[in-house]
Structure 1
Amino acid sequence: MFPTNVRTITQKSTTNLTKKSKRSFKCKRPEWLTKKVLIVGGITTGVLIIAAIVIPIAVKAGSPSTAATTTTTTAAPVVLAYWALQNNANDFYGNYSGTTNCNWCYFTTTGFFYGYMFYMYSTNSYISVPSTSYFNLNSRSFTFQIWINLNSLSIGDQPIFSQCTCTTCSNQCLFLIIRSSKLYMGFTYNDLAGSTTLVTGVWYHVAFVYNYQTLQQIIYLDGVQDAISSNAQPYLGTNGTMYFGYSTLLPSNYFNAYIYMAQLTTRAKSATEMLNAGTQIYYFSFDQPSPYYDNGPNLLNYTGVSGLASTSGKPKTENLFCRSKETLPWVYPSSINGGVLVYSSNGINILGLTYSGQIVGQIYEYQPVTVYQAVVGPFLSTSTWTHVAWTFSLTNGMILYVNGAVQGSITGVTSYYFGSHTVTIMLGYGNGATYGYIPGYGFQGILDEFYAYRRELTASEVLTLASV
């Protein structure tokens, strides 16, 4: 901001100001202070000032105690092994394949999801991965996970997985076992016991995690943290054969159980990853170059297609389904005159369109009455993406969501078909028969992002998936 009343200074007034200044600050130079003395003194003072500034700087810069030090740390590469146990003990990646030692053990069908599983029920019955294929877990994070189904809980400690260098040395024998009907992990004198009592005849997803950065041991059961310990020193084994169903720490003990799909990696997986691993059955994104491959944790690839073509899909969202069940695809109908979206091989249409084009979710109730229970939602529009979710649990019943909003629910179902059987899921298939409210002919349109889970997702989780 400039003043509006600017004063103009004339040459005359400037001269007067100068004169006043000289009178105010006039002083007489001593006679000895000649021009020569002034020049020499000025030069000397200038040199001293420059020296005072430059010399300390030079000394500081040249001091070795203040030299910068750079430390570079290279992280160890993440190692992964995966044993699908499909009639052999081969590692999917070819680096840590094992062999069976079967006094009383064999591969049998059908596994929890599909294919084979490995059954052990006596001493000297196990799978071994030789120390020549040494999997180095020394002073590293790791995650071991596997599906198990126990046949007995009355035979003492049951070894699930182990690797030992020394059975009497602290932190040199890794063992993952069942003890007192609970999960148990240890490195020898550095152990953690689970909190949940297991039962026989039930498939469990179990995981044992060690986090080297936080010094934590963590046990997960069906994707949920079961126990945790802090200040746990790392496993220090330097070699050793890996065993499934045996441990040199417990040479007389054995694992009486079915095992299925084991995985070991040198990374501490997060709680979110463990929840996904323990509850997600499959996930089909239908993306190229492998549109019918399962992108979930269990690699349950498709077994057949008919009358399908790949096309551009919905920009990434989710879908689900099982035990507590969940099914949610994105749908883009080209026709809304009925059609099956999700069909199971035991003859039940789970999700589809009515003759008039309304979305419907249903369940075949067995008790207290035998009847199809259904929730009928809104009319769908052709050439429009709609997110549909179908969930079920004995606690909350069946719920149908459309674009993340609840359309209705059916409660009070205590028993239902499709509850305890291994079935094939078919998308867009109709076998010609009408079941419940869904006519039995195929869906016409596009499906994208299909998921299946072993748990019921919450309303907020469904809304999140529908908002992506």
Structure 2
Amino acid sequence: MLLQLVLLLFEVYLSFSTISLVKYEAGQLISNTNLSFIDMSIIETRNGCICHCYTNNSCVSLVYIGSNRTCWLYASQIPRTNLQLASVTLNSVVITLSNRITTITTSTSSTITSTLPTTTYCGSTCVNTIISTLSRVAFYSFDGNMLDNIGNYSLNTYFPGSTPNYVSGWIGSAVNFVYSDQQFLFTEHIPLDSRSFTIDFWFYVTNLTYTNDYSFAGEWQAPAYDECLFLNIRGNVLYMGFFYDDISGITTILTNQWYHATFVYDSTTKTQLIYLDGLLEQSGIVYSDFLATTGSFTIGGAHLGGLAPTYEYYPGYIDHFQISYRVKTPCEIYLNAILFCYFSFDLPSLLNDSGPNYLNAMNSNGISTTGRMNEGIQFSSSSPSLSYVNISGVNVLNSATNPFTISMWIKPSNVSGGGTLLHLSTQSSGGGNCFVLWGFTSTGKLSVNLISTSNSTISITIPSSFQMNQWTHIVHVFDPSNGNYLYINGNLMFGPTLSTRQAFGSFVFLGASPGGVSSCLSGSISTGQFNGVIDEFYVFSRALTSADICRLTNP
């Protein structure tokens, strides 16, 4: 009982190498209000956690729980009022790097302000990498046709007795291949010989019980060394070969889920590389470049060379297939897999999606203005018209199990009376199954709505006030294994909360809820026009790390 009733914290000043520490032995965090959460890691020892904090320039305090080896880092000092005495079995400690206290200022309870230093080290992250279309030679979106969007190598079809069937894809639509019908697509020879190249696409395999090989694509000249390119699934892992110059992945591919595959050949170093979902699976040095100078390029079926059957086919969907004459960087490959859309709202192309998926957007009365980075888009109502941007095809939000991260900068000019920041819907009109994800209450407080699997609204309202005409950064993370998190200016405001949710719909409205959709779920948010500027809108198909969030907050 004494352990539960008495807060007995021993404050010990000591030196860990050259690090000056303030330690609360057996301390336990009871509130993270106004603390700047950085990240959580599994680390074997207390000293390892201290080193982890010390090597992160943003870290001021840490909490280490020995019983489960979790190390929690914070970019602010942890006050004693946020602590209580923990059970001995928890083996916990709270430590502050005292020489860093003066470099961080915490936010007050009344007003949201930035808490990170002017120059912040965010660790290794790819989220600000520019996705380039440099040296792209072919791109197939499969949005109802077989056209090459670059214009060089449009596809012909070999679908005996039928026509291509299109299904809902990762982005827009995808082409569906039926293995038993021996279907494939082909075009003229694409010169891939004696050069570097990157081939990447999304795939969704529906059956892996027919054989050992399932071919995504290939190019064949003869059953001779390095004259047969094949990209496929072999033994349920990704596989890349030139015929006797081959490598294989390591992750078992499962049916009925979307993956992003990238196959790279670096002619300078004679290296083949396989990436799955943006992460390197395997690399290997080969004897020779790919050497075929003739032969059609095929998708959905290909030769494997040697004594293999004439063709091996593929069962399932393929989407957004592209070929580039260069070695894409690891960061580009990672972003191609995780970045769903990115609208910078910069001129001259105000509504250009700078992400890898080229989503369409429509502007209703929004005006270009000075943004957080270059230009932004300003919204205000001019009765009876509302101003907003409608982005279509954000399919990652249209599944209850997909993780996501939404990030943007806002500069409100007036939030009295409320206003919608993010409205989501299954229809382009904003109606149908619809609800308001982010917005302001009638008293001007930021509120986030979560929709449970029972279709009930859970509203979480941030009590802090927003500074008018000042830029504020907002990040919403959903991880199906952990729940929802909200960050403002890099500070964790709540989470984890509600690890299950309803699908949202793929139509996103920024700046207002469209007229005539008053039946949409809105929780505590007073729907209507947001008055202010929005900039740097991102949607990711991953729950971003703290380093990623730090970089988005400190562009």
Question: Relative to structure 1, is the Cα distance of residues 400 and 316 closer, same or farther in structure 2, using a 3 angstrom cutoff?
Answer: farther
Q: Name the residue aligned to 1:163.
A: 219
Please say which structure displays the higher CA radius of gyration. 1
Deviation at 1:437, TM superposition (A): 2.5
Q: Confirm or deny that 1:344 pairs with 2:424.
A: yes
Q: TM-score, normalised by structure 1?
A: 0.76
Compute the RMSD of aligned alpha carbons.
2.3
Which secondary structure does the structure 2 equivalent of 1:378 belong to?
Answer: coil
The alignment partner of 2:364 has SS state of coil
- Checking the alignment, whether the CA contact within 8 Å between 1:405 and 1:463 is kept in structure 2 is no
Counterpart of 1:269 (choices 328, 332, 346) is 328
Per-residue deviation, 1:324: 1.3
CA distance in 1, matches of 2:345, 2:265: 34
Q: Which residue of 2 aligns with 1:95?
A: 152
1:281-292 paired onto structure 2 within 5 Å: 281-292=340-351
In structure 2, what is the Cα distance between the partners aligned to 1:252 and 1:161? 11
**Which residue pairs with 1:233 in the alignment?**
288
The one of 491, 507, 527 equivalent to 1:405 is: 491
Say if 2:369 and 2:375, in contact at 8 Å, map to a contact too. no
Q: Which residue, 228, 251, 254 being the options, matches 1:199? A: 254
1:309 and 2:309 are equivalent in the alignment = no
The one-letter amino acid of 1:424's match is F
- Provide, for residues 294-332 of structure 1, a one-character-per-residue CA deviation record: whole Å limited to 9, x for no partner: 111011121x332322222222599x9852111111101
Say which SS state the counterpart of residue 449 (structure 1) adopts. strand
Q: Distance in 1 between matches of 2:231 and 2:470?
A: 51
Give, in whole Å, the separation in 2 of the partners of 1:422 and 1:204: 21
Q: Comparing both structures, which one devotes a greater share of its residues to helix?
A: 1
Residue 143 of structure 2 corresponds to 86
The match for 1:278 is: 337
Paired with 1:177 and 1:105, the residues of 2 have a C-alpha distance of: 23
Distance in 2 (CA, whole Å) between partners of 1:461 and 1:159 is 35
Q: Residue 236 of structure 2 aligns with which residue? A: 181
Gaps spanning 5+ residues in structure 1: where? Answer: 1-76
Counterpart of 2:268?
213
CA deviation profile, 1:361-385 (whole Å, cap 9, x unmatched): 3321227x95415362632122111
Q: Give the equivalent residue in structure 1 for 2:409.
A: 330
Contact 2:441 2:447 survives alignment (8 Å)? yes
Q: Which residue of 2 aligns with 1:246?
A: 301
2:510 counterpart of 1:427: yes
CA–CA separation in structure 2 for the residues paired with 1:317 and 1:202: 38
CA distance in 1, matches of 2:444, 2:295: 62
Cα distance, 1:159 vs structure 2: 0.8
How big is each residue's C-alpha offset from its partner over 1:185-233, in whole Å with a ceiling of 9 and x where there is no partner? 1110111111111122111111111112222211111111122223453
Which of 167, 191, 195 is the equivalent residue of 1:136? 191
Tell me, yes or no, if the aligned pair for 1:215 and 1:232 is still in contact at 8 Å: yes
Distance 1:317 1:226, change over 3 A: farther
Q: 1:232 to 1:428 in 2, by over 3 A?
A: farther
Question: Which of residues 492, 501, 523 in structure 2 aligns to 1:416?
Answer: 501
Higher strand share: 2
Is contact 1:147–1:261 with CA below 8 Å preserved after alignment? yes
| TM-score (norm: length of structure 2) | 0.65
Q: Would you say the 8 A contact 1:123–1:254 is kept in 2?
A: no
CA deviations on 1:420-453 (whole Å, 9 max, x unpaired) are x752111122243552222222312111111111
> For structure 2, which runs of at least 5 residues remain unmatched after alignment?
1-133, 377-393, 426-432
Moved over 6 A (4+): none
Flag the 1:434–1:98 CA change in 2: closer, same or farther, 3 A: closer
Alignment partner of 1:111 is 2:169: yes
- Count of matched residue pairs: 381
Query: Secondary structure of the equivalent of 2:331?
Result: helix
Q: For residues 7-47 of structure 1, give each alpha carbon's deviation from its aligned partner in whole angstroms, at most 9, with x where no partner exists.
A: xxxxxxxxxxxxxxxxxxxxxxxxxxxxxxxxxxxxxxxxx
